[in-house]
Amino acid sequence: MGDEQQQRSGALGEGLRAQAAQRYDEAERLIRAAVQDGEPDAGYYLGELLIELDRAAEAVPVLRDAVETGDMDALIPLGNALWDQGDVAGAEANYRAAADRGELAAGHNLGLLLYDLGRLEEAIALWRTTVAIGETEHRLLANALADAGDVEEAEALFRSGADAGDAEALVDLGALLQDEGRMDEAEAILREAIALPGGIEGYAFLASVLKLEDRVEEAEAVLREGAEQGIATAETQLANHLSDLDPRSVEAEALYRRAAEHGDDEAYNNLGVLLWDQGRVDDAELAFRAGAERGDDLAVANLAGLLEERQG
- Convert the pLDDT of each residue in 169-227 to its tens digit: 999 999 999 999 999 999 999 999 999 989 999 999 999 999 999 999 999 999 999 99
Task: Write 152-159 long-range contacts (CB < 8 A, 24+).
Answer: 157/131
Question: What is the per-residue DSSP string for 80-111?
Answer: HHHHHTT-HHHHHHHHHHHHHTT-HHHHHHHH
Least confident of 19-28, 118-127, 160-169, 242-251: 160-169
B/e letters for 161-177, b = 16+ CB within 10 Å, e = fewer, are: bbeeebbbbbbbbbbbb
Q: How far is CA 284 from CA 279, 298, 307, in A?
A: 9, 13, 11
pLDDT band at 104 (very low <50, low <70, confident <90, very high): confident
Q: Whole-prediction pTM value?
A: 0.77
> Is the pLDDT assigned to residue 3 strictly greater than 60?
no
* Rounded mean pLDDT, 79-107: 95
State the average pLDDT for the chain. 94
* Rounded mean pLDDT, 232-257: 97
Domains and CATH numbers, the chain: 148-229 (1.25.40.10), 231-312 (1.25.40.10)
> Is the pLDDT assigned to residue 228 strictly greater than 90?
yes
Q: Are 269 and 302 in contact (CB under 8 A)?
A: yes
pLDDT, position 134: 86
pLDDT, position 209: 97
Please, what is the end-to-end C-alpha distance for the chain in angstroms? 56
* Rounded mean pLDDT, 50-77: 96
pLDDT tens, 118-158?
999 999 999 999 988 888 888 899 999 999 999 999 999 99
pLDDT, position 9: 67
pLDDT band at 269 (very low <50, low <70, confident <90, very high): very high
Report the amino acid identity of residue 141: L
Report the percentage of the chain scoring pLDDT > 90.
88
